[in-house]
Amino acid sequence: MRAAVFDRYGPPEVLRIENVAKPAPADDQILVRVHATTVNRADCHLRSGTPRWQRIFNRAFDRGGFLRPRPRTILGGEFAGVVEAVGDAVTEFAVGDRVFGMSVMGAQAEYTCRRAGGPVALMPVGATFEEATNTDGFLNAINCLRAAGPLAGKRVLVYGASGSIGTAGVQLAHHFGAHVTAVCNTKNLGLARSLGADEVIDYTREDFTKNGETYDVVFDAVGKKSFPQCKRSLRPSGVYLPTDGVVNGLWLLWTRKFGDKKVKAQLPPRYIKEYILLMKDLIEAGDYRPVIDQTYPLEDVVEATRYVETGQKTGNVVITVM
């Protein structure tokens, strides 16, 4: 089968398309013929081996070491496709089912195996493969927002509201009953409003940390802020939700013991079937829509990765495989 592989850390150009062995499902797995996957921030960290802690993560989960990843590593956690085979113990899915879900790696290929009991479900009725494959932003957003507790009636600010996690965060916070302020650039203000933001801030013209407004929750969906930067924008007993940064992890430990303003995160993130089913239900109800910026064929994965690493994408970058 065709797959995008790499076997050394480095820039997008370390990726190449190569023929590799087609996987076979274990007893508890399904074999999926991938129609669509993505390139996201996690893929870029895994491929580049940066920041340095990423290599520790790779080593801990047997995805390589400090010097190089495993040979012919295949990226891509998000996927949507059609079940081609099922393991002997699988009863939930059948050959021909259209499915979508999330893992960590392996979907930037024509086929991938996934555990049937994991974060995989039948595709939302009416959704395309390209729409359904965008699960990473949803799962990261709900992990963060659930850590903040009930959101109904609270003021929530989403920083980086036009990215994959941010567009999901705006919609989920709105769905859970929060008053949502979205922070993004000028061109995406209208998009943020259409996703459910009650207020918008153009970060090219205004710094939300200096305007005197305060919020119950500040959700940094792009990992570009820190707790000290955002602390004065939090109300008493407010919560800061990071999506990146080792330093924010240290602040999480500190604020457990000291101060009324907290840093919270679900560690490790929970990629579970319950959340995939919630995404399915919200899409079918018209309460959630994945935002797609660009779509590339698998052969253009290097170009797609370069675009993701500009940090300027809106929503998701999709890779079509079939």
Query: CA-CA distance, 249 to 240, in Å (whole number)?
Result: 11
pLDDT digits (tens, 9 = 90+) for 228-253: 999 999 999 999 999 886 677 787 77
The percent of residues in the chain predicted with pLDDT above 90, rounded, is 81
Write out the E strands in the chain: 2-6, 16-19, 29-39, 73-74, 78-86, 98-102, 111-115, 120-122, 155-159, 179-184, 199-202, 215-220, 234-241, 262-263, 292-297, 316-320
**With 60 as the cut, is the pLDDT of residue 63 above it?**
no
pLDDT digits (tens, 9 = 90+) for 171-223: 999 999 999 999 999 999 999 999 999 999 999 999 999 999 999 999 999 98
Query: CA-CA distance, 297 to 32, in Å (whole number)?
Result: 18
Domain ranges of the chain: 2-134+290-320, 137-263
Looking at the whole model, is its pTM more than 0.85?
Answer: yes
Domain 2-134+290-320 maps to which CATH number in 3.90.180.10, 3.40.50.300, 2.30.42.10, 1.10.12.10? Answer: 3.90.180.10
Query: CA-CA distance, 198 to 102, in Å (whole number)?
Result: 30
Looking at the domain that runs over 137-263, which CATH code has it been given?
3.40.50.720
pLDDT band at 36 (very low <50, low <70, confident <90, very high): very high
